[in-house]
Chain A
Amino acid sequence: MNTSAWMEIGLFFVVLIGLVKPLGWYMARVYAGQPCGLDRAIGPIERTLYRLSGVRQDEEMTWTTYAFATLVFNALGVVVVYLLQRTQEWLPLNPQQLGAVAPDLAFNTAVSFASNTNWQAYSGESTLSYFTQMIGLTVQNFVSAATGMAVLIALIRGLTRRMTETIGNFWVDLTRSTLYILLPLSFVMAIILVSQGVVQTFSPAVEVALLESATDAEGKSVTTQTIPLGPAASQIAIKQLGTNGGGFFGVNSAHPLENSTPLSNFLQVLAILLIAAALCYTFGDLVGDPRQGWALLAAMLVIFVPMLVVCVWAEQVGNPRLSEIDIDQTSNAFQSGGNMEGKEVRFGAAASALWATATTAASNGSVNAMHDSFTPLGGLIPLWMMQLGEVIFGGVGSGLYGLIIFAILAVFIAGLMVGRTPEYLGKKIEAYEMKMASLVVLIPPMVVLGGTAIAVSLDVGRASVTNPGPHGFTQILYALSSAGNNNGSAFGGFGANTPFFNCLLGAAMLISRYWLIVPVLAIAGSLARKKYTPPSAGTLPTHTPLFVVLVAGMVLLVGALTFVPALALGPVIEHLQLTATH
């Protein structure tokens, strides 16, 4: 790794952690309904929305109503995006004259965007009209992220409220997340991205001349190149901030018009983790003890940093098979070096590894390099990051509510170990919470492993594999891990756009998103009903380094124990084979 790569990664953490408190504080004010600075600009719009849609701002919901509203709203999103894709040829803003999307692909894409997964079985340039991208996908990018944040806030209310039945109003949480947080940040981000060369226009693609003509696969001479355009920057800003990850173009943020400079790359990778990290502070602020939030952020970093180091190291070491044939993979002032297959020169191996770790830690799933071509160890990191349940940063809102569930599990075992009925933030953790928490922890592995087992057993599943050896199995495992944890990144070579996988992965995304939201809200409801137990010396403190290690350990242990057998037959054996001395 050369100096600039070191400095870039170092600066990444400095800026990220530096922004946690101001943004977290701002979001806390937004959710607490306190003045936050943008009230005069946004307040009138917000109130108009409520008036037109018949939302009473002070109306409180029980957890069941809250969950029902969440599900109805999301189901509606799926339906709308599906219909838009099926009818886009008759709709405006379709300069490329693209036809209707196939039903299985349209279903997969609709679920994918509503569930904040943004798994992309399609290629943006050649499948979706500008209209579909804007009205369908960009909107879902906002509201699916806002849904995650709303559920988190409901859970936080459950932790802070005492002896009450209600956990807030879904419509208000959804609207405020969108208007006060996602929209302003996205707007600023989009403009900066445009300044770096990310396109933002409604013009159709343009032709440019090739300096040297090329020959295509059929031997015909090609003398021009068509530069795709479109309203990309506005979608990319929210795709990163809202941990969506669905690119405007097929190769996502590896595309030079989607992620044009190292600076745009830095900002995008920062945006991937930004809100998820800052929500930790919001959580601490709202529960009245910022240390609680910092502790959870620390637990995330305790896992994230070592994983990042491994990934960067593995990618920077490069491919031993290429070293054997006289390829220079060293890193120095003249080149990034490392495993450059499937990576862009302007980013280099280290920044690509940083992105890969961040995009899978958060349930973002956008890529700036091809994970399929990562070294086995370098690819193991993003794969395992997803399998950890997308709680290390995770999706905006969803990552933190997932981690809080893990904290509840950790509190339970730790509580027993100190001889006291476990309690978290003054709320006793009892059988009902354990039941729901178990569901939350159980469902993703169930979907991932179950789906993988189905796919590897069937010929239609095996047919999508494009790399030989254990890597082929890893491709399937990666696809299911991505869909089953709402990440959306892929081993790009994998032939995912088949009716079989469109349906299997669509189902996986549906189950893992909404079957988790319901038990999480159930916990919120149950906690809100409980009384508050003030802490004493006998209470396990949940802001100490020890607890941080415990939560991180819990996440790692569950992730390891569940997936070790599968990983052993995928990336682990691939790594052993690659590094075996001949």
Chain B
Amino acid sequence: MSTRTVRPLFDWPIVKQAIWGAFYKLDPRHQLRNPVMFTVLIGSIFTTILALRATTTPGTESAAFVGGIAAWLWFTLLFANFAEAMAEGRGKAQADALRKSRQEVMACRLTSNNVRESVPSSQLKKGDIVIVKAGDLVPIDGEVIDGVASVDESAITGESAPVIRESGGDRSAVTGGTRVISDSLTIKATSSPGESFLDRMISMVEGAKRQKTPNEIALDILLAAMTIVFLLACATLVPISEYSVVLAGKGTPITLAVVVALLVCLIPTTIGGLLSAIGIAGMDRMIQANVIATSGRAVEAAGDIDVLLLDKTGTITLGNRQAVEFIPADGVTAEQLADAAQLSSLSDETPEGRSIVILAKTKYGLRGRNVEELRAKFIEFSARTRMSGVDLDGRQIRKGAVDAMENYVREQNGDFPRSLKDQVSRIANLGGTPLVVAEGKRALGVIYLKDIVKGGIRERFAQLRQMGIKTVMITGDNPLTAAAIAAEAGVDDFLAEATPEAKLALIREYQAGGRLVAMTGDGTNDSPALAQADVAVAMNSGTQAAKEAGNMVDLDSNPTKLIEIVEIGKQLLMTRGALTTFSIANDVSKYFAIIPAAFVGTYPELNRLNVMALATPSSAILSAVIFNALVIVFLIPLALRGVRYQSVGAATLLRNNLVVYGLGGFVVPFVGIKIIDLILVALHLA
């Protein structure tokens, strides 16, 4: 298993850096990206000027009060900056760990005239050919064009077991920063330095190249619109309050400091301040799941997935089949069949072969025999003959696929009994794989190999179904077998005898129906389908072509990861939605705190609306401002961790979130503002 580092939420070095970052980010150019926080910045500067003026020209307003407002507006900004810096810091820490593996190494480059030269890895270009020997770090992402070697990829995946990389086929991609342990590889660079996988990953987690995702842009527009509405409501309050003073004949118009305080309390600072932190944290969570997304857009799209295409092998079933039964032919005893089957499988190191030996041992008490002692000649499985077996003591035992074996038996003028054929089709109907065993021209019987569906996968699919995601199993099996496994695993649909073309066609069909499709793939022949899918997760063990075609790479090469990816995508949107709701719901209580306080001089009767019984007008306004700033800090953990996702239907999810963040957002500030007011009074600050 991969070794995942679980980072504590508040890591001191990160916090320290984030505090500095918070000040650094006060740069107006940075704030301009976020209309809500930019408004706060303007408000902070404005109230600071007002506070300075109040100290120099004493009179109308208490300098301490205006200064207090100004200070807390700056805190509001700093807290929001801090949240963003924290998220970036955590990403950066992740990136630093990655960067360590991207040390500058000397690469051995093969020039066009076959001369080897030593160049720093940073000077390698796309298309360069390098040779990596055992013990060396792979200098750059590339494709193996010659050689086979085991490679330690733990620096990237955390997986300690080395993996095989070889030219051709689906295991040809190597990643910069991994180490060749044995043999040597000739690699063609597929990216230039700075554009490699690792680089992309680092820049993604650092947030440097983070582009706003579509939903984030839409939310930004909504937040900007709300800011304008509140700006209007607050700005027009100045002439309206002036007129009210005229009408009532007493009191003073609302002061600018109070207008700014009201404005900052009302505009959605909570979500505005945490928005970018949420986005970065979402990317970070992806990375923690050992998935690299090439864009935030892909992460977001993951939350929208309607259809998951899952490869049967490795995702739904354990990668291998197991022998579960020996079915002898007429006139053959089960023991005879078991014995022959065991002999034929002794040197068969595939999981299927091993499972036959184990079944013979557990069911018929046949102990494993020493391969050396038998002096047997083993016949390896080949794709041409599609059978394997053993020759010993004149016995020729073979096992293999049904049609291959039937031919084998008939070639020797043997008889392939009808009853055996019936057994074969029975097994196929059950979703199993029949393996025929023959000795010479005599067919002994059938081994029933069964696909073992992974434990818990059925429940997982049920969850997905509740989330509204349809699962489709992709398999090369025939429809009969596929149907049986599909039923057992509980997938919604399956594609049998799948070819890359069929896969691509299926994706297009779903997309034409308006659905978003996610899939995993590793082989080069998956590339077209990966490129077509909306969310395409390439296995890190897969080919470079597959990785290029996908928009995410799973470093663990774990096909089940898709489910986790979907959840992370949803969590990202949910966190934004929840905090937006919370932020808006907060405003109700702030009105109750500020409006009576602001106008009580003109209309003393307004004090009846001071439902929180806040001590004085200035303590009421300060409490609201302070609450508004502090709530950002309290919500940083939520922003970084994300709202908990439960796999229930949308309606239930909405209801739960509305209760927690809507109702909560309505109630919490009443309590919070009251507590702050009590503290301010206790400290004689207001």
Determine whether A and B are in direct contact in the complex, meaning some CB atoms lie less than 8 angstroms apart.
yes
Chain B residue numbers with a CB within 8 Å of A563 are 233
Q: Is the CB of A546 within 8 A of B654?
A: yes
Q: Is the CB of B650 within 8 A of A430?
A: no
Answer whether A565 and B234 are a contact pair too, CB < 8 Å, given A435-B221, A536-B470: yes
**How far apart are A194's CB and chain B's nearest CB, in angstroms?**
46
Q: Tell me which of B324-332, B579-587, B613-621 binds A.
A: B579-587
Cα–Cα, bound, A546→B657 (Å): 12
Cα–Cα, bound, A544→B650 (Å): 12
Q: A420 at the A/B interface (Cβ < 8 Å)?
A: yes
Q: A188 at the A/B interface (Cβ < 8 Å)?
A: no
Identify A550's interface contact among B247, B514, B653, B658, CB under 8 A.
B658
Q: A577 at the A/B interface (Cβ < 8 Å)?
A: yes
Answer whether A445 and B229 are a contact pair too, CB < 8 Å, given A412-B222, A450-B236, A565-B237: yes
Identify A442's interface contact among B228, B248, B591, CB under 8 A.
B228
Interface string of A518-544 (1 = CB under 8 A from B): 000000000000011110111111001
Chain A residue numbers with a CB within 8 Å of B402 are none
Q: A472 at the A/B interface (Cβ < 8 Å)?
A: yes
Chain B residue numbers with a CB within 8 Å of A441 are 225, 229
Q: B285 at the A/B interface (Cβ < 8 Å)?
A: no
Chain B residue numbers with a CB within 8 Å of A580 are 605
Q: A560 at the A/B interface (Cβ < 8 Å)?
A: yes
Cα–Cα, bound, A263→B229 (Å): 43
Q: Is the CB of A470 within 8 A of B247?
A: yes
Q: A49 at the A/B interface (Cβ < 8 Å)?
A: no
Q: Is the CB of A546 within 8 A of B606?
A: no
Chain A residue numbers with a CB within 8 Å of B609 are 568, 572, 576
Identify A416's interface contact among B228, B229, B580, CB under 8 A.
B580
Q: Is the CB of A430 within 8 A of B214?
A: yes
Most chain B C-beta atoms within 10 Å of own C-beta, residue among A534, A563, A573:
A573
Cα–Cα, bound, A557→B591 (Å): 12
Per the 8 Å Cβ criterion, residues 379-437 of A in contact with B are 409, 412-421, 426, 429-431, 433-435
Q: A215 at the A/B interface (Cβ < 8 Å)?
A: no
Tell me whether chain A's interface is mostly helix, strand or loop, or mixed. Answer: helix
Identify A531's interface contact among B514, B578, B595, CB under 8 A.
B514
Q: Tell me which of A10-18, A144-152, A237-245, A452-460 binds B.
A: A452-460
Per the 8 Å Cβ criterion, residues 284-325 of A in contact with B are none
Interface string of B294-321 (1 = CB under 8 A from A): 0000001101101000000000000000
Cα–Cα, bound, A563→B515 (Å): 41
* Interface residue range, chain A: 35 or more
* A438 to chain B: closest residue by CB: B225
Cα–Cα, bound, A435→B221 (Å): 6
Per the 8 Å Cβ criterion, residues 396-448 of B in contact with A are none
Cα–Cα, bound, A438→B229 (Å): 10
Q: A66 at the A/B interface (Cβ < 8 Å)?
A: no
**How far apart are A575's CB and chain B's nearest CB, in angstroms?**
9
Chain A residue numbers with a CB within 8 Å of B236 are 449-450, 452-453, 566
Per the 8 Å Cβ criterion, residues 544-599 of B in contact with A are 569-574, 576-578, 580-581, 584, 587-588, 591, 595, 599
Interface string of A546-582 (1 = CB under 8 A from B): 1000100100011011111110110011001100100
Chain A residue numbers with a CB within 8 Å of B303 are 419-421
Answer whether A419 and B645 are a contact pair too, CB < 8 Å, given A426-B514, A473-B244, A539-B468: yes
Q: Is the CB of A453 within 8 A of B605?
A: no
Chain B residue numbers with a CB within 8 Å of A564 are 233, 591, 595
Q: B10 at the A/B interface (Cβ < 8 Å)?
A: no
Answer whether A417 and B221 are a contact pair too, CB < 8 Å, given A468-B247, A573-B603, A576-B603: no
Q: B241 at the A/B interface (Cβ < 8 Å)?
A: yes
Q: Is the CB of A420 within 8 A of B657?
A: no
Cα–Cα, bound, A352→B606 (Å): 29
Q: A255 at the A/B interface (Cβ < 8 Å)?
A: no
- Count of A-B residue pairs with CB < 8 Å: 216
Chain B residue numbers with a CB within 8 Å of A38 are none
Count how many chain B residues have C-beta atoms less than 8 Å from C-beta atoms of the other chain: 79
Q: Is the CB of A419 within 8 A of B573?
A: yes
Q: Is the CB of A541 within 8 A of B651?
A: yes
* B603 to chain A: closest residue by CB: A573
Cα–Cα, bound, A516→B577 (Å): 26
Q: Is the CB of B468 within 8 A of A538?
A: yes
Answer whether A473 and B240 are a contact pair too, CB < 8 Å, given A442-B225, A568-B606, A573-B606: yes
* A575 to chain B: closest residue by CB: B605
Answer whether A576 and B608 are a contact pair too, CB < 8 Å, given A532-B514, A561-B584: yes
Q: Is the CB of B467 within 8 A of A537?
A: yes
Answer whether A413 and B650 are a contact pair too, CB < 8 Å, given A450-B232, A462-B243, A539-B468: no
Chain A residue numbers with a CB within 8 Å of B138 are none
**How far apart are B510's CB and chain A's nearest CB, in angstroms?**
10
Q: Is the CB of B577 within 8 A of A416?
A: yes
Q: A446 at the A/B interface (Cβ < 8 Å)?
A: yes
Q: A469 at the A/B interface (Cβ < 8 Å)?
A: yes
Most chain A C-beta atoms within 10 Å of own C-beta, residue among B244, B465, B602:
B244
**How far apart are A441's CB and chain B's nearest CB, in angstroms?**
7
Cα–Cα, bound, A434→B580 (Å): 15
Identify B229's interface contact among A415, A430, A442, CB under 8 A.
A442
**How far apart are B265's CB and chain A's nearest CB, in angstroms?**
11
Chain A residue numbers with a CB within 8 Å of B340 are none
Q: B239 at the A/B interface (Cβ < 8 Å)?
A: yes
**How far apart are B304's CB and chain A's nearest CB, in angstroms?**
5
Q: B667 at the A/B interface (Cβ < 8 Å)?
A: no
Q: B217 at the A/B interface (Cβ < 8 Å)?
A: yes
Q: Is the CB of A534 within 8 A of B233?
A: no
Q: Is the CB of A569 within 8 A of B240?
A: yes
Answer whether A417 and B248 are a contact pair too, CB < 8 Å, given A537-B649, A562-B233, A569-B603: no
* A453 to chain B: closest residue by CB: B236
Q: B235 at the A/B interface (Cβ < 8 Å)?
A: yes
Most chain B C-beta atoms within 10 Å of own C-beta, residue among A419, A449, A561, A569:
A419
Answer whether A536 and B221 are a contact pair too, CB < 8 Å, given A417-B577, A453-B236, A561-B233: no
Interface string of B460-491 (1 = CB under 8 A from A): 00000111111000000000000000000000
Q: List 29 A-B contacts (CB under 8 A).
A: A412-B222, A414-B577, A416-B574, A417-B574, A417-B653, A417-B658, A418-B577, A419-B573, A420-B304, A420-B570, A421-B215, A429-B218, A430-B218, A446-B228, A536-B468, A539-B650, A540-B651, A553-B662, A561-B233, A561-B591, A562-B229, A565-B234, A565-B591, A565-B595, A568-B599, A572-B606, A573-B605, A576-B608, A577-B605
* CB-CB nearest 6 A-B residue pairs: A538-B468, A416-B577, A419-B570, A438-B225, A537-B468, A536-B468
Q: A412-B222, A417-B574, A470-B603 are in contact. List 7 more A-B contacts (CB 8 A).
A: A416-B578, A420-B303, A420-B570, A431-B214, A431-B218, A537-B466, A576-B603
